[in-house]
A and B are shown apart, each in its own frame.
Chain A
Amino acid sequence: MKITVLAFASLAEAWGRKAAVMSFEKNPLTVADVLEAVCGDRSELARYRAILLLSRNGEFAKPDTPLQDGDEVAMFPPVSGGIN
């Protein structure tokens, strides 16, 4: 199945791109599989794995969220806000 993967802010810079369409043989597929395919063993992305936020089709998702063909998965750092 084909999944559109998006990244933002510093994560996009570390990944070297903002978007990619990736094909997966695995079925069922989860958000964690996409994360693994993107981050894999890339050390420059490793520090993000514990902090990044995930979404599926614009709604927050968890690693075990199942995916369907054509879904959009986004990975992003915590937002810039804060309490001040």
Chain B
Amino acid sequence: MVALVNERIDREALVCCLRQDSDGAIVTFDGVTRNHSRGKAVLYLVYEAYESMALKQMYELRDQARQRWPITDMALIHRLGRLEIGESSVFVAVTSPHRRAAFEACQFGIDTLKRDVPIWKKEFYADGEAWIEGQE
């Protein structure tokens, strides 16, 4: 499953739908919103995407992972809009018969998504706000 969503990411449901009886491993990465950034307290965040391009790239990323590793499937979900601290902003899950491929594909999935997919976040502080671009 590949999706951009505006509501809470249901991690359990995603993993449940991905898993097949031939799988021996499920590796997940859960990216959660943090209450601090570069020395400032963050109150909440807003995520924005170039949705059509982001989705296209996320599908390509999943296809690349399937070609490179013997995995069963990969889910890539990113949330958009306003998020409170501690909520999941991005969730990657990989299922595979064996764990090594699942670990490697999951790391590839989140690293590539964060580097290449056109999604931006804006942090809101007590005294202002800032887009985080090209860095973290």
Chain B residues with CB below 8 A from A9, complex form: 48, 120, 122, 131, 133
- Across-interface contacts of A55 in B (CB, < 8 A): 50, 53, 118
Contact with A along B114-126 (1 / 0, CB 8 A): 1111111110000
B22 touches A (CB below 8 Å): no
User: Does B114 contact A79, Cβ atoms closer than 8 Å?
Assistant: yes
Give the interface size class of chain A.
20 to 34
Q: Taking chain B's interface residues, is the majority helix, strand, or loop, or is none over half, making it mixed?
A: mixed
Q: A9-B131, A10-B131, A51-B134 are in contact. Are A80 and B50 (CB under 8 A)?
A: no
The residues of A that contact B48 with a CB separation of less than 8 Å are: 8-9
Q: Which residues of B contact A (CB under 8 A)?
A: 48-50, 52-53, 56, 111, 113-122, 131-136
Task: Enumerate chain A interface residues (CB-CB to B < 8 A).
Answer: 6, 8-10, 13, 51, 53, 55, 58-59, 74, 76-84
